[in-house]
Amino acid sequence: MRNRPVLFIDSGIGGIPYCRDFIKKNPQESICYLADHENFPYGPRKKEELTSILITLMENYLGKIEPKIVVLACNTATIAALPSLREKFPHVLFVGTVPAVKPAAIACNNGKVGVLGTERTIEEIHSLNLADDQCEIYGIAAPELVDFIEKHFDNSCENEKQKITKKYINLFNEANVDTLVLGCTHFLFLQEEFRKEAFHSSIKVFDSLAGITKRIEYLLDKNDLRADKNCQPEYRLLLTGDTAQNTTWKIRAQSLGFKLVPISSIKEL
């Protein structure tokens, strides 16, 4: 029971920084990382469509993976589908990721918080009531940035990373934003670049990384689900879609120390 894995879900590599942070602080826990490559990207999808996709994933694989906690390591998926997933699967412990607007709003000096996210996140951000009425949320959707990180980050140079982050920092600077929230898990791959560029504009950058790890740890402790100390953890990366065995994902799995498992052979878990 305790040695079951924690399951992280994203449409691609966006949830990997969250997965890494959790493993670093909880090395005894087994992990399954499910990249729903078949349905990438989640950002442009309608709420109902994305909810249906995630419910289907849960129906198909919950019983086979048997996770003790499911982490929606994707702001878009969380905003669109978390309430429906909790209603559909009441026995499952879900952890969602939402943009870190609250801490950004507290640190904000001029009442204007910037949020960089996917189309779905930016469309829904005002309905989440993450900040009080004293703060204005200025959102920018950046689907091309998600695409860059998913498809080109591995082979990009520092100059390319700096150029693309500077573009968005300039836009937020022009909007007189003084705190910026990285509202898509993919963007944490450029966390350092964003912080460096934002520093020159006196913009403070926020993300939900530490908060998500703490929330998972809280649920593990509360429900007595910590892995046995003498247990050897297993790390597996699961992929949906026809390109599940391509070279890029093999390299990613190796760099993480994960075993790459095509979703079609999940029975091997």
d(CA 18, CA 3): 20
Task: Check residue 227 and report its DSSP letter.
Answer: P
Task: Count CA atoms within 13 Å of residue 265 on its CB side.
Answer: 10
- Write phi, then psi, for 180 (nearest 5 degrees): -125, 130
Residue 204's H or E segment, with its range, is strand 204-206
Q: Which of 237, 233, 235, 240 is nearest to 260 (CA)?
A: 237
Amino acid at 209: L
Catalytic residues, which ones? 74, 184
Cβ burial 176-190 (10 Å sphere, 16+ → b, else e): ebbbbbbbbbbbbbb
d(CA 263, CA 36): 9
Q: What is the DSSP string of 146-199?
A: HHHHHHTGGG--HHHHHHHHHHHHHHHHHTT-SEEEE-SGGGGGGHHHHHHHHH
Residue 87's H or E segment, with its range, is helix 75-88
d(CA 236, CA 245): 14
Q: How many CB atoms lie within 10 A of CB 9?
A: 23
